[in-house]
Amino acid sequence: MPFYEVTVITRSLSKSNLVKALVRAGNTLLNNGAVIEKVESLGHRDLPYKRIAKQTKEPVYAANFFLFQTHMSTDARKKTKSILINDLDTVHVDVLPVETANIDAPCNLEEILKPPAERTAVKELRENQKLGHFPRQMIYKRTEKEWKSIPKSYTIAPPRP
Amino acid sequence: MISRKTSAVFSNFARRCSTQSPLNVSTATTSSNLTDTSSSDAPVELERNPYEKEPRKCLLCRTSVTLDYKNSRLLQQFISTFSGRVYDRHITGLCDKQQNKLVETIAKSRRAGYMPVFVKDPKYVRDPKLFDPLKPIRPHSFA
């Protein structure tokens, strides 16, 4: 079961209603076979932009943010998300997978700071890049021009001995 | 012929150095090489340049800060005050890995409703600047 973080943003509610809404959200998760590892309150925060509460159509400027850390199947994720989104007390819900053990690629800032002629990426391009029709024609014409500019015989015939 | 003479001089110098300061790393390697070769006049080859500078690292790699989509304040330091868009890597000065991760995380954060989409939050406009957009490290991200 993949690890997901469920962000629940509620509309402005009284404390008792908030508890009810939270318990409802938790129960929907559990009823659909999710395992809740942790529930966290991220506090009463200003929303990044105004949102509209469902049904009452009230504008919401600040709201309670909650975070459920859960393990659930991908089907359960779809189902719970659709349920939580349609809950009247939530303003916004999102279920995001948590990345674990990202591969530690070394920092390549030094490579970026080099001039293009010394960069390995550019070198690779220079050596392995396929030429399109147009650049190939350009190169052909340029070499042809250079070749033709070389005189093949003397313009004035050398004097006879 | 000249190089042989100079190498002999250098090896003598290195031996003197190793006797004087055994703690020095570069001279320690030369002394080990000296024991391998039978003649003391053999040229000394260092394994690596002792004067080589340490490779520079980007801000996030240097400070080992991990980007989190819930930390929208940090993410918004990489966003233009004027256009609300993510600065490119020639301005942020991040390595490829971190820049890709930054763009990904900002998209996530916007989806999850932690961050405004079209603008930078006016609360965070006066946050300390991590870089100067007028002084990019390269003329363009593709250059």
**Residue A136, in any domain of the structure:** yes
| 78-107 in chain B: CB under 8 A from chain A | 89, 93-98, 101
> Alpha-carbon dihedral of residues B38, B40, B43, B49, nearest 10 degrees?
100
Say whether both A63 and A138 belong to one domain. no
Say whether both A74 and A138 belong to one domain. no
- Alpha helices (H) in A13-153, listed in sequence order: 15-31, 74-85, 109-113, 120-128, 133-149
**Residue A159, in any domain of the structure:** no
The C-alpha atoms of residue A97 and residue A102 are separated, in whole angstroms, by: 13
Cross-chain residue pair A109–B108, CB shorter than 8 Å: no
Name the residue among A13, A119, A2, A143 with its Cα closest to residue A66: A13
Return the CATH number at A17.
3.30.70.60
Instruction: Report, as an integer, the average pLDDT of A144-151.
Output: 91
pTM over 0.90: no
Say whether both A50 and A88 belong to one domain. yes
pLDDT of residue A36: 96
Mutate to test the interface with B, among A7, A65, A85, A107 (most CBs of B within 10 A): A107
- Tell me which residue range forms the domain holding A122: 109-149
**Residue A117, in any domain of the structure:** yes
Give chain B positions within 8 Å (CB) of A94.
Answer: 111-113
pLDDT of residue A46: 95
**Residue A14, in any domain of the structure:** yes
Write out the residue limits of the CATH 4.10.640.10 domain(s) in chain B. 59-124
pLDDT tens profile B60-104: 999 999 999 999 999 999 999 999 999 999 999 999 999 999 999
pLDDT tens profile B21-67: 444 444 444 444 445 556 789 999 999 999 999 999 999 999 999 99
Say whether both A79 and A9 belong to one domain. yes
Say whether both A21 and A58 belong to one domain. yes
Say whether both A35 and A92 belong to one domain. yes
User: Domain ends where: A77, A97, A117?
Assistant: A97
Per the structure, the count of domains in chain A is 2
**Residue A49, in any domain of the structure:** yes
**Residue A102, in any domain of the structure:** no
Q: Which chain A residue is nearest to residue B138, measuring alpha carbons?
A: A113
Say whether both A58 and A91 belong to one domain. yes
Say whether both A22 and A51 belong to one domain. yes
Q: What residues contact residue B43 under an 8 Å CB cut-off, 6+ apart? A: B3, B4, B7, B10, B11
Higher pLDDT, residue B7 or A158: A158
ipTM of the modeled complex: 0.78
Residue A150: pLDDT band with limits 50, 70, 90: confident
For residue A18, pLDDT beyond 90? yes
Local structure of A157: helix, strand or coil: coil
Residue A105: pLDDT band with limits 50, 70, 90: confident
For residue A63, pLDDT beyond 50? yes
Residue A54 near residue A74 (C-beta atoms within 8 A): no
Cβ count within 10 A of residue A8: 27
**Residue A19, in any domain of the structure:** yes
CATH code at B59-124: 4.10.640.10
**Residue A156, in any domain of the structure:** no
Say whether both A120 and A48 belong to one domain. no
pLDDT of residue B35: 52
